[in-house]
Amino acid sequence: MGGGAGVIRTPDQRLRVFVSSTLRELAAERRVIRAVIERLALAPVMFELGARPHPPRSLYRAYLEQSDIFIGVYWESYGWVAPGEKVSGLEDEYNLAPNVPMLIYVKRSEQRQDRLDSLLDRIRSDDRASYVAFDDAEELGPLITSDLATLLAERFDEGRRRRPGPLDVAPAVASSEFLRPPAPLTRLLGRETEVQRVVDLLTTEKHRLVTVTGPGGIGKSRVAIAAARDAEPSFPDGIAFVDLAPIQDPDLVVSTIATALGIRDTGDELLLAKVTRALDRRRVLLVLDNVEQVVDAAAELSALLGGGSVSMLATSRIPLRIDGEQSLPLTPLPSAVAVELFVERAPRGEARVRAH
């Protein structure tokens, strides 16, 4: 990836992920890809994020030269071929891609244009490219999350010259290598009591599974993230944030947890056993967000709890019904706090009108 060993980046220079696809037919997939890239604290390089006063070819050539990872997503259309050009912008982006890791995703179809099939034949023979088929945007999100996380872990391992992975090193180092809880962009209002209660359950009372419950939009994730940060000193081996929102299949929960922990599925043993062994005797807090849609994975979560000293802080619309679970239901905010929250979050003009 761009920026070799010894190069110090300024704080704004996150790893850049260039996304190549047709725009309209894959609009839903592009939204999912952007969300995944930003959730991993990387920088998406996409045309819809801001036009520039330059010809398209000059623009994407410059973008490609500055990118560290190439993601290509293809479906049925080969794309438009501009007058005087021999290939579409879609193929040209692939042709101009620098020597960086390439993640290729092909949406299944029986109506693909011939020129796109020819391009995909070329891509399949490219030893830089990882090639995966998918059915829809819902399936694509977890695939890209897992592949990007694995890619970053592999590059990190190369940079450390085959030193032990994050779960094999000293706790002080391990805590910085998990997928961390996202940094809130706004302050938390009216939930100080609930946050402290969660912290007390996890630390003072030593409960190893705490579930923050309540209807959608009530603030479960914000409370859990704030409590996790406050409780961090009690978990010297780190906090890992596991976003289960893109996951619908309970069978993918363990692999998503493994990704958050930097554990790769090498196929040499059952992944659940591998994660359990890696967490054995470690004081790690797993923050599991949006568990309600994969609540059928409760047996696997129970096995992780029973196999070591890991603790879990979950958010869910319903309790998980696991032995030892401590549930904290969230109730609506008091009226005065709710009004303050609305005034702070709403667009300024609208807030002034509503506040009066």
Number of residues in the chain? 356
Q: Quick check: pTM over 0.85? A: no
pLDDT at 264: 75
**Rounded distance between C-alpha atoms, residue 203 and residue 60, angstroms:** 50
> Is 3.40.50.740 the CATH number for 170-335?
no
At what angle are helices 253-261 and 271-279 packed, to 10 degrees? Answer: 40
pLDDT at 114: 94
Q: Contact, 220 vs 214, CB < 8 A?
A: yes
Report H helices in the chain.
27-39, 56-65, 89-96, 114-124, 137-159, 171-174, 192-202, 220-231, 253-261, 271-279, 298-306, 335-345, 348-355
Q: Contact, 330 vs 220, CB < 8 A?
A: yes
Helix, coil or strand: residue 132 = strand
**Rounded distance between C-alpha atoms, residue 242 and residue 257, angstroms:** 6
Determine the longest span between alpha carbons in the chain, in angstroms.
71
Residue 142 exposed, middle or buried by CB count within 10 Å (0-12, 13-18, 19+): buried
Strand partners, 129: 102
Residue 113 exposed, middle or buried by CB count within 10 Å (0-12, 13-18, 19+): middle
Residue 272 dihedral angles phi and psi, to the nearest 5°: -60, -45
**Rounded distance between C-alpha atoms, residue 307 and residue 301, angstroms:** 10
**Would you give per-residue pLDDT tens digits along the chain (356 residues)?**
444 444 555 555 678 899 999 988 999 999 999 999 988 888 898 876 555 555 666 777 888 888 889 999 999 999 988 888 899 989 989 988 888 888 999 999 999 999 999 999 888 877 777 888 999 999 999 999 988 888 887 666 554 443 444 444 333 333 345 777 877 656 677 888 999 999 999 999 999 999 999 988 788 988 999 999 999 999 988 899 998 988 889 999 999 998 888 887 766 668 888 888 888 888 899 999 999 989 999 999 999 998 878 999 999 999 999 999 999 999 887 766 656 656 555 544 443 333 33
Domain locations in the chain as residue ranges? 16-159, 170-335
DSSP conformation class of 97: -
**Rounded distance between C-alpha atoms, residue 62 and residue 67, angstroms:** 9
Q: What share of the chain is helix, strand, coil (3-state, %, to 5)?
A: 45, 15, 40
pLDDT at 282: 85
pLDDT at 6: 45
**Rounded distance between C-alpha atoms, residue 255 and residue 250, angstroms:** 10
The residue assigned the tokens 């996951």 is 247
16-159: CATH number? 3.40.50.450
Helix, coil or strand: residue 135 = coil
